[in-house]
Structure 1
């Protein structure tokens, strides 16, 4: 969510299988509640842990029905390109396994965590979205582990370490995802979060080169404004998509993001320094280049608007390339990293792991779930997934899409984005570090200095609470 988000959100509808009144499969646990802690909006909204006692009451974790007569339920956030290819992979899996039915339940990104919590508490899903988080570093004290880590430690997920088919993925990818030297999730791919799609014809028509510095980017936007062309499209209705360019500004401003995360926990005054305030100032400028009333515009409408030629640029993740291509098959567009600084060497793509698959240990069909994951990971099926999703592939023998391949040398320069390093603090207030939703028109602050002070106050209150918790 970054995730997305994570990937682009769905159609705002729960699938029929998620409608009210649809009973969960298996034993239903009454008066049990699983409440998760959400990650930042632009990362994947992923499953959180369940108390071991709840799991014991809800299911045995056995394979349940025989693989020849079973329904496998997969629960993921909705995203049109990945929904379609996962449906096709599931139909092919059914053909190879007569008697098996695969039900793909997709849920809008902003509803995923709530739905997932209740489904897992009831043992009503066999494959869900896991996480790639790691245990907390030593400089963080007084706050609980991320709840996916807690869930792993409580035995709430199936250990996939011994599955030989994991060798199809890059070894470093699997190793980086491990918790306590074991594998609990299967990757899908990675995506760029801080890119800017641009209309090639409009750039050519107005004599504008791809900007490589912040001043060049602003100048390009102002040139378009003076010509009566909307420079940027933003969709603020769902809130999180507006955070994508904010991630780009952070990425360009701070060369060492791991160092920045540690500083937030050990020297929070960094939030009042010039670099932090400059991020908010640049974000205000970027807002001024967007279409009118963008705070109320749905993110879902932007790819089609962009493909129709209604703006020069669209800040969005690389996952939207297939959607733009579908919206305008003859539309020519490019993609460059948001240049948030005056140093071109720092203005590079930032990438993140995309959503991952995990198997709850209380699922009815754990064995069948691992069979589906093996089927998905086969190079021909995984290639189809990559082609449809637009993700960067994580298997050595799988080619990137034409769009990704066209990014060329920029892919060699890209580095992990901010949310890969940042550890939030649930004890802090609403105004988290670099809180883009606090700046008008998304929020109530017009002055970046005042917003920075509020961010500092909320964050330090959380640090103080952690010290006494």
Structure 2
């Protein structure tokens, strides 16, 4: 399973509601002399994304009687990616569409196919990480829809309080905490759930912000085939996973435990630390609501505290193709601005449910946000974040989760695992036709 925050997609057409709203607007003489503009919004069919999209459409049309918005959805994954490219190439793209940010966006050739939105009033509200992943050197093309999540260490706060531990800022401090927890004998220091192999990747993927802190050009040079996981600083993540295994810090059933087991262990105090995506907070809230306040978050520590950063998965965004023109373009821009209005932010908070901070200061987390969200917010406020590698490079080998299971199980040494992953990504880069590979 890829760690990409895949766009949510599907195939619903808002017809009756749009027509009823449109007829009502016409009969009331709303808009420009009773005339209406009709646009289409394309999103994905997964939940809760499709429901949130429909609520956004309904709210926008209620506030803008001169515009009818038809909602369409399509499948996720590779099928959806191919549909996006085909629609842009044939000039049949919807007036507004929801899609990935980062490297998948770059594959759509935004300079050639999209409308530059950098002159919109909301544009300056974006945090720098978000602006980076919806921009090229020539323009800024997307408005975020949804919140971030982070690759981090989720931890059980009562265990920390009981043992008098402090949140670590470097790797040595993290390992010292693990040893104290092991010595206490009441919980597994580090939860690993290799029965769901994708979860094994967090030691590597969540460390990427620490790599960037040491080598800001790493992602670009990696894409150009000039940086390698077999070399430092990227090798360190594999070495850390090996070290944690060899220290005996994992739960005894790490090889077969599933993600749901990891959530249970974290929430109930059977385990102290779980390197995972912070979207796991939603699973805690659903399955162990009484324990939600017991869970905190900290960045996977770097060797040096000065390099410790939080690795962030940015939300998808809304875009306008350059085939949208005239009145439709103006309506599409209004629709995107509405998504970042007070009402749009409410829908994102209530329907999408935040898994991290917003990437625009126009939206705020609810006052009763879980500690996991407020902990992540502190890293944003301090400027100690960086996008995950997949937002900065299109290269992610398909075998990483198998390799990290082997490294984290003592089957393969860290150096060998990193070197094998360099071979794995080479195959993918060649398939993508990247220069230098």
TM-score between both structures, scaled by the size of structure 1: 0.65
Tell me what 1:57 maps to.
none
Aligned to 1:336: 298
Instruction: Choose from 178, 188, 196 the match for 2:135.
Output: 178
Contact residue 187 and residue 356 of structure 1 kept, 8 A: yes
Distance 2:175 2:78 in 1: 37
Q: 3-state DSSP class of the match of 2:275?
A: strand
Q: Equivalent residues in 2 for 1:298-447 (5 A)?
A: 299=259, 303=263, 306-331=266-291, 332-341=294-303, 343-360=304-321, 369-382=332-345, 384-386=347-349, 388-401=353-366, 402=369, 403=371, 404-406=373-375, 410=379, 411-419=381-389, 422-425=392-395, 435=400, 437-441=402-406, 446-447=412-413
Q: Which residue is equivalent to 2:236? A: 278
Matches within 5 A, 1:14-413: 17=12, 72-76=40-44, 78=46, 80=48, 85-96=52-63, 100=68, 103=71, 105=73, 111-118=76-83, 121=86, 123=92, 127-133=96-102, 148-155=106-113, 157-161=114-118, 164-167=120-123, 169-170=125-126, 176=132, 177-179=134-136, 181-188=138-145, 191=148, 193-225=150-182, 227-235=185-193, 239-252=197-210, 255-261=213-219, 264=222, 268=226, 271-273=229-231, 275-286=233-244, 289-291=249-251, 299=259, 303=263, 306-331=266-291, 332-341=294-303, 343-360=304-321, 369-382=332-345, 384-386=347-349, 388-401=353-366, 402=369, 403=371, 404-406=373-375, 410=379, 411-413=381-383
169 and 77 in structure 1: CA distance in 2 versus 1, 3 angstrom threshold: farther
Residue pair 1:168, 1:377 contacting (<8 A) in 2 also: no
**SS of 2:122 mapped into structure 1:** helix
1:160 Cα deviation after fit: 3.7
> What CA deviation, in whole Å up to 9, does each residue of 1:392-451 have, x standing for no partner?
23443543444444557544051314517853558xx766xxx45413348995122222
CA-atom RMSD, angstroms? 4.6
Aligned to 1:52: none
**Number of corresponding residues:** 394
CA change 1:4–1:295 in 2 (3 A) is farther
Would you tell me which structure has more strand in proportion to its own residues?
2
Structure 1 unaligned segments of length 5 or more: list them.
19-65, 135-145
In the alignment, the residues of structure 1 paired with residue 244 and residue 253 of structure 2 have an alpha-carbon distance, to the nearest angstrom, of 14
Classify 1:2/1:266 alpha carbon distance in 2 versus 1 (closer, same or farther; 3 Å): closer
CA deviation profile, 1:346-387 (whole Å, cap 9, x unmatched): 223233432112234568987664443222121342255257
Between the aligned partners of 2:54 and 2:62, the Cα distance in structure 1 is: 13
Q: Secondary structure at the match of 1:440?
A: helix
Which residue, out of 383, 400, 420, partners 1:454? 420
Change (3 A) 1:344 1:372: same
Instruction: Give the structure 2 partner of residue 31 of structure 1.
Output: none
- More moved, 186-195 vs 328-337: 186-195
SS in 1 for 2:309: coil
Tell me the secondary structure at the aligned position of residue 315 of structure 1.
strand
Contact 1:236 1:296 in 2 (8 A): yes
Measured after TM superposition, the shift of residue 344 of structure 1 is: 2.1
**Contact 1:248–1:338 under 8 Å retained in 2:** yes
Distance in 2 separating the partners of 1:466 and 1:398: 38
Structure 1 residues 189 and 147: alpha-carbon distance in aligned structure 2, compared to 1, 3 A threshold = closer
Corresponding residue number in structure 1 for 2:4: 4
Structure 1 partner of 2:21: none
- Gap runs ≥5 in structure 2: 14-33
CA distance in 2, matches of 1:304, 1:94: 43
